[in-house]
Chain A
Amino acid sequence: MEEYIKNRFDGKKPFDVVRAEDFGGDLYDFYEPLEKLIRKVSGVDITGSRPVFLIGGRGTGKTMVLKFLSLEMQLKNFIKNELMQSKSIEELSVNEMKTFLDTKKFLGIYLRFRTTEYDSLKGDIAQLFKPYLTIRVAEEIFKILIIFKSSRLLSNDHEIKIAQYFFSQIKEPVPKAENSFNGALKLIRENILSQFETIFEKSSYCSINEIKKDYSIPVVISKNIIFGLPNFIFAELDFLREKNIFILLDELEFLNDPQTQCIGQLIKDSDETSVIFKVGSRYMPQILPVGESNEVLQELHDFRKIDIPEALNAAHSGRKIDYSNLIKNILNKRLLKSTYFRDKGITDIEQLFPNLSIEEEAAELVKDREKHWGKFKTFVKQSKSEKEINDIIGYLKYPSNSIIEKLNMLLYYRGKSPEEIKKMCEDYLDGKNEQYTTLYQKNALNLLFQLYSDYRNEKKYVGINVFIHLSSGIIRSAVELCNQALNTAKNFGYKPGEGKPVEIVYQDIGAKNLAKLQYADITGIPKNLGLKVQDFVNQIGTIFRELHLNRYLVEPEPTHFETNYSEIVQGKDVFNAALNYSCLQKKPSMDPKNIGKTKKDDFLLNRILAPYFEISYRVRGRTYISASQISSLIAGDSEKKKKTQKEIIKNNAKKEKPEICIQSTLFDTAEVNNNEID
């Protein structure tokens, strides 16, 4: 059982464990240094001397990063990877501890704002948040001191002085404890925290004045503990001189406004002290007031912000391969940890989920059939005779690659003559037509979606590269995709072995199952916003799907939209919730299409949902949706929503008018610079 508590990794299910908590003390064994990549992409060093907000929803890795900075994890990592030994922290010798401390600039204490811990601190007793947090911080500091004590790094005199300092800052209950670290911890746990808990419980049916009649309220000097205690310790203990203490606060999103204000105040007060706050949150609060003052914390001046998915998406844009490498390393590390997979010769994730090219997938779908010409014939039939149609098809046909055939159809729809198309295509096949090459690269994947639609079949989502795209900068999603795919395959009798990848069908089912689950999970967004966000996401996804099937394919693979965020009036709470809960992701704004137009804000539909809506998993075509249209999609009645949806699709799709041929060049060559690696 002890082993189980430590680490729940199961070699037969290497992608099953996704939470930092489940790796227990072995977290560092599975940890891939995310902070290095973040520093490379965002320029922010989380281990630097500035307060940092680490932003990201569930599974983005923020808890991993914060926990990894805690002293406990740093020590475990040191023992395993630098001392190459297996011993407990308590067994470290004085010299080993000194060696460790010589390399460290900081000591990290990790605290999580558990929803179930802080939720009762409101109303009458809201004011108790600060003293309660203070005591929680002190508790963690004493845990660190006990580690140093076990290494015999400090004397009894030091211990007594530090404990006495702490006790002098507690005004109520009057400390009656042994002058030692254990005495301090005992006082904290058995007296102060339990006193707080009684008050929390009573506050649900008694006013604070009624509570005061029977119980005393703890009183502590917060400033002298949160900042004063580390300063006192660092001054007292030579081996900690010049060090900083990182207070690693996770899950800020669970705090209410007054509690967040208190954190703002603490961050402000930490300036020029040895305390540096590193805060993890699902989303960045709109503003961070400094206590009850009018002052707010300002990025750059007071803190730095790292949005993990934004940083990781940036590490996956253009031709960058950092994010892909990070994910592959994480997944491969798990395969290497699994004797089950290692013994079978599977050490590379691509062996399980090999990539499939667009052409291979198209060939597998079409299987020498000609169904995809059906819609084309119906369209051309309106103005051409049977013979003329056959002649046109003769020009456009290229049976060995149905994507080329689809592209030829697209060019015909856009007004190119069959002869021109044939010429372009032949030149392309000879490697001589750049325009056709660009068009092919730009449209091929979307044309594959259309091809699936022609065959009344669903697009498959397979291959590790596709999974990495689908993960949308969220590490856990990539791991979970592999888990879903592998589990599905296993349920159907799959047994891993060299040269035996997970079958396409099971990879696809895994991706679709996860998309369905993620979509269903949206309803769980609190503050009564879940259903509204889900409805909004559904509409955006439906618009993108419609645009994927558009004959003229003005913007292939539409998976993101641009709007004027500041102009959204109605439904902004829903829009923000969609962002805060990673249904939408902010992406760097693209340049306007026309000179003189201002930049807008770009938002990407979380690509994990792509299989649910059967849309592309890449970041390509943008769709313009005005702020008022966003409001209508969110807050309109069902008629208004439908109307707005149609209007957006119409505005973003090519109109079926002859002038399309004139405009066609506009979208033939536009925007290939923001592509991701395929």
Chain B
Amino acid sequence: MRLIENLSVLPIEDFLTESRKPRNWDIFISCGGFEERCKRSSDILFSKNVKIDTSIIFNYKETDPENKKEKNIREIKNNLEKVCNYIHIFDTESISLPSKGIKKFFTFLKENNINLLNKNVIIDITVFAKAYFFLLFKVLKEKFSLHKFYVVYTEPEKYKTKNTDINEIILTEGLDRVESIPGFTGSSINSEDVLIVILGFEGKRSKEVFDSVEPKFTYAVNGFPSFQSGWHKISFEANLPFLEESKASEHLFFAPAGDPFETRNTISQIVEEIEGNNKNTNIIISPLGTKLQAFGVLLYALENKKIKVIYPFPSVYKADYSYKYGPTWIFKIDLNKYGVELK
């Protein structure tokens, strides 16, 4: 039994079954990847007989030696062909170049005469890299004046197994750079930085972010309740060196791993505390936890332009990042008045 009490995030099957009439969307945006779960939403949309006008599947430039990504994209396309009028595969840039990729997206939309203005859009963020979907939502809001979206996310059944040598789950390797997520450069006007890290399974990433920012204070948010029992302990243990070195253990908060709205509220509470102590600080957030928590960060950052969002772009995303799939969730977001319950 999931502990999420916020009804604004629902299992997609329940949402689609409870609907009296079939659901229609103008645009479905998803992303193909190495992970099996990337195609789960299209399975469900197909099985529930939804109607979609245009689908856009993002295909990262990364090489695909075992053809896993290609196979997954083919299957997503097969599923969508039965419920969708037009399907486009958008060959975007590398996973670590969101700015280039999104600029290319504008050209792609023009070339294919796809107009997003006032459209009813559903986006599957499951395997979108965080920096990509942050910028994607930003431009959809700013360039296309879109405020209302349905968002879908499929959990993994499990993540890659732990590396016993270092007692940590390795999902990515190496570091390319720690950088602001494009479009979320926020404000650096003040001389002191306060960092908020949403903890993930890879403790080294928190440390890389901390080392790079060298903030005055550090806050941390751990995902609890977690997707699965005990996962919050994994992230806590993996982040112990970071929590100790940064003293974030003195400012540790919790927010449900599966609830963007609660995460957003927790961040708002932290920012209030920070500004209560000293108004003249730059606030920097690094979303290293789940995608749904990252979405909570996105919500807060879209509201508050002073917030800087940074991310440690890894050198390599492991192809076996996660296995199979867990539940698929859907929520509706109104960027002007988000957190609306699904009806």
Contacts and interface: CB of A to CB of B under 8 A. Distances in A.
A517 B204 CA distance: 10
A530 B175 CA distance: 7
A201 interface: yes
B139 A527 contact: no
B28 interface: no
A205 B102 contact: yes
A76 to B, nearest CB: 16
A428 to B, nearest CB: 45
Nearest to A534: B174
Contact of A58 (B103, B188, B211): B211
B182 A204 contact: yes
Interface string B57-100: 00000000000000000000000000000000000000000110
Interface in B303-341: 305, 308, 310, 315
Contact of A524 (B189, B211, B277): B211
Binding site of B, secondary structure by majority: helix, strand, loop or mixed? mixed
Contacts of B175: 523-526, 528, 530
Interface stretch (B153-161, B212-220, B225-233): B212-220
Nearest first, the 10 closest Cβ-Cβ pairs linking A and B are: A204-B182, A528-B315, A117-B188, A204-B183, A524-B208, A200-B185, A120-B185, A531-B174, A204-B99, A119-B179
Interface of B: 98-99, 102-103, 106, 135, 138-139, 142-143, 166, 173-180, 182-189, 193, 204, 207-208, 211-214, 216, 241, 247, 277-278, 284, 305, 308, 310, 315
Contact of A1 (B211, B277, B315): B277
B204 A193 contact: no
A205 B188 CA distance: 20
A116 B138 CA distance: 19
A524 B204 contact: yes
B310 A201 contact: no
15 contacts: A58-B211, A114-B188, A116-B178, A116-B193, A120-B180, A120-B185, A197-B186, A205-B106, A205-B139, A523-B174, A524-B208, A526-B178, A527-B176, A527-B177, A528-B315
A288 B171 CA distance: 38
Interface in A86-120: 114-117, 119-120
A517 B99 contact: no
B214 A517 contact: no
Contact of A116 (B98, B180, B216): B180
Given A523-B173, A528-B175, A119 B315 contact: no
A194 B241 CA distance: 36
Contacts of A19: 214
Given A114-B188, A193-B189, A526-B178, A205 B99 contact: yes
A551 interface: no
Interface in A526-543: 526-531
A193 B216 CA distance: 21
Binding site of A, secondary structure by majority: helix, strand, loop or mixed? helix
A171 interface: no
A525 B135 CA distance: 26
Given A197-B187, A201-B184, A205-B99, A526 B173 contact: no
A635 to B, nearest CB: 16
A57 to B, nearest CB: 11
A164 B212 CA distance: 38
Nearest to A251: B214
A561 B182 CA distance: 43
Given A8-B247, A119-B180, A530-B174, 18 more contacts: A1-B277, A5-B216, A21-B214, A21-B216, A114-B213, A116-B180, A116-B188, A201-B305, A204-B102, A204-B182, A205-B99, A205-B142, A521-B204, A523-B175, A524-B208, A526-B176, A527-B176, A531-B174
B135 A205 contact: yes
Contacts of A527: 176-177
B176 A528 contact: yes
A520 interface: yes
Contacts of B173: 523, 531
A116 B315 CA distance: 19
B193 A5 contact: no
A529 B204 CA distance: 15
A1 B305 CA distance: 27
A369 interface: no
Interface in A200-221: 200-201, 204-205
B185 A204 contact: yes
Contacts of B184: 201
Most buried by B among A5, A114, A205, A529: A205
Contacts of B310: 116
Contacts, number: 102
A117 B190 CA distance: 11
Most buried by B among A21, A189, A526, A529: A526
A466 B147 CA distance: 62
Contact of A520 (B166, B176, B284): B166
Contacts of B139: 205
A612 to B, nearest CB: 13
B189 A197 contact: yes
Nearest to B284: A116
Interface string A20-31: 010000000000
A1 B194 CA distance: 15
Contacts of B193: 114, 116
Nearest to B183: A204
A586 to B, nearest CB: 23
B103 A115 contact: no
Contacts of A114: 188, 193, 213-214
A172 B241 CA distance: 47
A650 to B, nearest CB: 29
A321 to B, nearest CB: 31
B315 A530 contact: yes
A205 B184 CA distance: 11
Most buried by B among A197, A201, A520: A201
A304 B213 CA distance: 28
A523 B180 CA distance: 20
Contacts of A524: 175, 204, 207-208, 211
A201 B278 contact: no
Nearest to B168: A520
Contacts of A200: 185
A201 B214 contact: no
B185 A115 contact: no
Contacts of A529: 174
A119 B182 CA distance: 10
A524 B209 CA distance: 10
Nearest to B142: A205
Contact of B135 (A120, A204, A526): A204
A204 B310 CA distance: 14
B130 to A, nearest CB: 14
Given A5-B277, A204-B135, A520 B185 contact: no
Interface in A595-630: none
B305 A523 contact: no
Contacts of A5: 216, 277-278
B315 A115 contact: no
A254 B314 CA distance: 17
B241 to A, nearest CB: 6
Nearest to A487: B244
Nearest to B134: A204
Contacts of B98: 204
Contact of A205 (B143, B214, B247): B143
Interface in A44-74: 58
A531 B305 CA distance: 35
B177 A523 contact: no
Interface string A111-149: 000111101100000000000000000000000000000
Most buried by A among B166, B180, B193: B180
Nearest to B306: A197
Given A120-B182, A204-B183, A528-B176, A521 B207 contact: yes
A115 B310 CA distance: 10
Contacts of A205: 99, 102-103, 106, 135, 138-139, 142-143, 182-183
